[in-house]
Amino acid sequence: MTGVDARTMGIVRSGLSVVADAMGITVVRAAYSTTIKGSADVSSGLFDCRGRLVALSDVSMIGHLAPLRSASSSILADFPPSSMAPGDVFIMNDPYRGGVHANDMQVFRPVFVDGAARYLAGTMVHVADVGGTSPGGLSGNVTDMFQEGLTLPPVRLHRAGQPVTDVYNIIAANSRTPEMAVGDVRALMAGTAAGERELLALIDRLGPDGAGVLEAGIDALLAYSASRARAKIVEFGPGTSRGEAVIDDDGVRFGEPLRVRVTVSVDGSTMTVDFTGTDGQALGPISAPEGPALSAALYGAVVLMGDADIPVNEGLFEPLAIVRPEGSLVAPRRPAGANARGFTMLAMIDAMIEAMVVRHPERAIAGSGLNHVMTLSLAADGAHPRTLMDIDYGGSGARSGADGVDAHGYAIFGGRSNIAPMELVESEHAVVYECHRIRRRSGGDGRWRGGRGVEKRLRVLADGSLTVRADKVVFPPKGADGGVDGAAGGWVVNAGLPTERRLRSKETNVPVATGDTVTMLTSGGGGFGQPG
């Protein structure tokens, strides 16, 4: 089959979306970790055995798009399709083979069509704990990837339908919470099984030549995305512009900010995004390896294109040339740590937006607040410690004509503001929430106000340790066109008490005792325009 009409392409597009979403839904329902169950913190996608991204679930974080894509290529490099068997399942998390960091496990299952492996169903979540210097693997102060936890190259997790128990045992032996870690991995595997089932059902629905229709539909869909992206690049207009963004610190060298620099060039229907001039890779874990860096660059390019409705697939990459200088924040050398790579990814996007504003000031947006993450390891009543990862979001920047959005999952989070319900967290962990509210006066003033951040305070009901990770604490989100900066974020232990302690943006294994409170303050977005 050489081509398909628009109607068939639309059917294939919708069907693939169902396949990708089914994987994510299954993982959430089967997961053990509170964060996955309560906030749907999962990404899932479908790839063909040429390594092309075919579909990404609607609830996936954009930040996981390219890592899943890069990881699928690593799986195919180590296990060619001809060596795969029905029932095989593969797992990996190596950040320098397409992964993100130790806790972000990726699982892939080949889908066989007419007796041959044609597609890979892939899922990814932050597994509860796989070792490292701090529970949960989110220390912002480590100096290499080996301190972040267990690293797995591409390996078989199941062979022809049978579990490879050695791999499960290795994961369990490297986790402080082995039941949760193995349970999350099994949930990932279940998600890929759902993807296989739904994809084969889609082929059946497409008729007697369903496999051929699907393949032709995918080719047409990828070409459609590339065509729309090229058209938007042409509309952006030829020329070159530059942008820059700052990161507070790398978690090791406090007081030493780092900068991402970018040059965006458009020539016809091709866009070059060149990060030459970006600071060298960090000593702390904020550098972004290939997968995360490509995700950030792609997201920034879509913002520049101004068309959020282009189908997310391999076609989006076709008109882009992304330059990442080796040894920089956006292309670190192994074994640089990467668990806090999100700060560099968001700086990449902010720098690209600044470059866009030079050319299209009507599309300007003020600086936006970032997500804050804290990890608590607590053992109640002598029980085995449980690891809680709690996340919340800052406010987005205002733009010409509209206020920013409160508590908003900015950029790579795809607008997600989903967090685990307090009732679920309290039922599974030794904590109780005392407040969770929009942070007053945190959005920057302006003709249009920046989105407000969040104030969240919980009390711990057992002794344990606290690890926190954030940015925009030293350099708050900037106002634009005369707007006021948003409020900086921060962390406070025992706020308002004689034992009050303000933490730096990134601290690891801070002791907490029964009755202590931990307050998270996410940053507000910058205002836009002179205040009235």
Q: Helices (H) and strands (E) in the chain — how many of each? A: 9, 20
Residue 362 burial (C-beta neighbours within 10 Å; 0-12, 13-18, 19+)? exposed
- Give rounded-to-5 percent helix, strand, coil for the chain: 30, 25, 45
- Would you state the structure tokens that stand for residue 242, as one six-digit string? 């530059």
pLDDT number for residue 474: 94
Average pLDDT over residues 161-186: 96
Name the pLDDT band for 510 (thresholds 50, 70, 90): very high
pLDDT at 415 over 70: no
pLDDT number for residue 107: 98
| Residue at 370: amino acid letter | L
| Cα dihedral 499/504/509/514 (nearest 10) | 30
Q: What is the C-alpha to C-alpha distance for residues 369 and 346, in angstroms, rounded to an integer?
A: 10
Name the pLDDT band for 426 (thresholds 50, 70, 90): very high
- List the one residue out of 151, 522, 124, 40 whose CA is nearest residue 295: 124
Rg, C-alpha atoms of the chain: 23
Average pLDDT over residues 136-154: 95
Contact 450, 526 (CB under 8 A): yes
- What SS3 string covers 476-510? CCCCECCCCCCCCCEEEECCCCCCCEEECCEEEEE
Average pLDDT over residues 255-279: 97
399 DSSP 8-state letter:
B
Contact 357, 364 (CB under 8 A): yes
Contact 148, 335 (CB under 8 A): no
| Residue at 16: amino acid letter | L
What is the rounded average pLDDT for all residues in the chain?
A: 93
Q: Quote the pTM value.
A: 0.94
Average pLDDT over residues 208-217: 96
Average pLDDT over residues 145-160: 97
Coil vs helix vs strand at 274: strand
Coil vs helix vs strand at 105: strand
- Least confident range of 4-8, 77-81, 145-149, 509-513: 4-8
In DSSP terms, which residues pair with 455 in a beta bridge? Answer: 437, 521
The overall longest dimension of the chain from CA atoms, in Å, is: 74
Q: What order do you get walking across the sheet with 89-92 strand by strand?
A: 53-56, 42-48, 116-126, 104-113, 89-92, 155-159, 162-163
Please compute, for residue 2, the number of CA atoms within 13 A of its CA located in the half-sphere on the CB side. Answer: 0
pLDDT number for residue 308: 79
pLDDT number for residue 27: 95
Distance, C-alpha 122 to centroid of its chain: 15
Q: What is the C-alpha to C-alpha distance for residues 119 and 305, in angstroms, rounded to an integer?
A: 30
Average pLDDT over residues 230-237: 95
Contact 70, 106 (CB under 8 A): no
pLDDT number for residue 109: 98
* Contacts of 163 by beta carbon, 8 Å cutoff, 6+ apart: 157
- What SS3 string covers 195-227? HHHHHHHHHHHCCCCHHHHHHHHHHHHHHHHHH
- Would you state the structure tokens that stand for residue 178, as one six-digit string? 């082995």
Q: How far is CA 366 from CA 118, 356, 357, 399, 470, in A?
A: 45, 13, 11, 6, 19
Q: What order do you get walking across the sheet with 454-460 strand by strand?
A: 431-438, 454-460, 517-521, 490-493, 501-503
Name the pLDDT band for 198 (thresholds 50, 70, 90): very high
Q: How far apart are the first and last CA of the chain?
A: 62
Contact 435, 481 (CB under 8 A): no
Average pLDDT over residues 416-431: 86
Coil vs helix vs strand at 270: strand
Backbone angles phi, psi at 307, to 5 degrees: -140, 95
Q: What is the C-alpha to C-alpha distance for residues 64 and 281, in angstroms, rounded to an integer?
A: 21
- Would you state the structure tokens that stand for residue 109, as one six-digit string? 């299952």
73 DSSP 8-state letter:
H
- Would you state the structure tokens that stand for residue 437, as one six-digit string? 């509210």
pLDDT at 434 over 90: yes
pLDDT number for residue 411: 75
Name the pLDDT band for 1 (thresholds 50, 70, 90): very low
pLDDT, one tens digit per residue, over 11-64 is: 999 999 999 999 999 999 999 888 888 777 789 999 999 999 999 988 777 777
Average pLDDT over residues 226-232: 96
Name the pLDDT band for 416 (thresholds 50, 70, 90): low
- Least confident range of 180-184, 278-282, 414-418, 440-444: 414-418
Q: What is the C-alpha to C-alpha distance for residues 380 and 428, in angstroms, rounded to an integer?
A: 11
- Would you state the structure tokens that stand for residue 339, as one six-digit string? 């668990």
Contact 262, 274 (CB under 8 A): yes
pLDDT at 77 over 80: yes
Contact 482, 398 (CB under 8 A): no
Average pLDDT over residues 348-366: 91
- List the one residue out of 290, 315, 345 whose CA is nearest residue 228: 315
Coil vs helix vs strand at 104: strand
pLDDT at 385 over 90: no
Q: How far is CA 105 from CA 95, 242, 461, 480, in A?
A: 10, 35, 30, 39
| Cα dihedral 523/529/530/532 (nearest 10) | -90
Name the pLDDT band for 8 (thresholds 50, 70, 90): very high
pLDDT, one tens digit per residue, over 443-495 is: 999 999 999 999 999 999 999 999 999 999 999 999 999 999 999 999 999 99
